Amino acid sequence: MTLTPEQEAEIAEARSQTRPTLRAVSEGMERRLYLAHPVLDHGLVRVIDYMGDDAAITQAARVSYGRGTKAVSNDEGLIRYLMRHWHSTPFEMCEVKFHVKLPVFVARQWIRHRTANVNEYSARYSILDREFYIPAPEHLAAQSTVNNQGRGELLEGEEAARVLDILREDAMRAYDHYEGMLSQEGQKGLARELARMNLPANVYTQWYWKVDLHNLFHFLRLRADAHAQYEIRAYAEVMCQIVKDWVPLAYGAFEDYRLGGATLSGKAIEVLKRRLAGEVVTQETSGMSKGEWREFEGVWG
């Protein structure tokens, strides 16, 4: 990620202006505010604004008149209770607005999360930058042989070099054509809304993305997970660190119950009970499908 000197100056300017406020402030988030966190080769995530902190969650849960904060241990216990019992609305009281720069193919996965508010950079109005995602060699992998929706062994040697050359050359050629079609030198110049058609899906776009904490946790649960594609996971992992600084108690509960926890089906509970009673249970006698059993064994061994 490279920011232009003008962009860096804008961020520095935004961070230099402080003012007193009566509103809830999260010290951890204040340290992050406006700063660009690099992701992938040209991407970034930054927090533009936020509302609420850990206390805002317990305040809403208790419907308090004041800030609602009791002892931190009480707040933590309540937040963990709310998370454990899927009592989600208090988490919706916190909001965050991100500025994200991301490849279009990542944006297509991201935009499926409908519970956020989005405003994207207009490639009808503006000209896109010559910036394309090219995977680092350690992420350039072959099709997985066990998971149709994933990658397996790394590409190596000549094959890896050839693939990287193709990706770079195609991106540059497409961008040259894009510029050529837009140009008004000696021609009318194609409209921006049409010229963008030939750009590949690894071109970078940008948006502002505003979401409440409950739905952000849902997004992070799905996209920071090992099953998510590496490129969107890279964003989710950076956002996890930001959220951890913003609402440490809520993030701790999320990490424990959602990221680190597992859901048990009725059949799985039965199998565990039978195992605890000393019975040897196999997939055939468990009542679970092969896929369910594989996932169950993955968690419980």
Nearer to ligand FAD, 195 or 216 (CB): 216
The rounded distance, in Å, linking the Cα atoms of 155 and 173 is 24
**Candidates 44-52, 77-85, 93-101, 111-119; binding stretch for ligand FAD (CB under 6 A):** 111-119
Residue 173 is labelled as binding a ligand = no
Residue 123 is labelled as binding a ligand = yes
For the annotated catalytic residues, the residue numbers are 223
Residue 121 is labelled as binding a ligand = yes
**Candidates 42-50, 78-86, 106-114, 245-253; binding stretch for ligand FAD (CB under 6 A):** 106-114
The residue number with the shortest CB distance to ligand FAD is: 114
Residue 80 is labelled as binding a ligand = no
The rounded distance, in Å, linking the Cα atoms of 113 and 218 is 9
Residue 109 is labelled as binding a ligand = yes
Q: How far is the CB of 283 from ligand FAD (least distance, A)?
A: 24
Tell me the number of residues near ligand FAD by CB under 6 A.
Answer: 9
Task: Give the x/- contact pattern for ligand FAD in 222-251, rule: CB under 6 A.
Answer: x----xx-----------------------
112 binds ligand FAD (CB under 6 A): yes
Q: How far is the CB of 247 from ligand FAD (least distance, A)?
A: 19
Nearer to ligand FAD, 34 or 257 (CB): 257
**Interaction residues for ligand FAD, span 115-174 (CB under 6 A):** 115
Sequence ranges of the binding site for FAD = 89, 112-114, 120, 212-214, 218
Sequence ranges of the binding site = 89, 109-114, 120-124, 196, 212-214, 218, 223
Please give the residue ranges that form the binding site for ligand FAD (CB under 6 A): 112-115, 215, 218, 222, 227-228
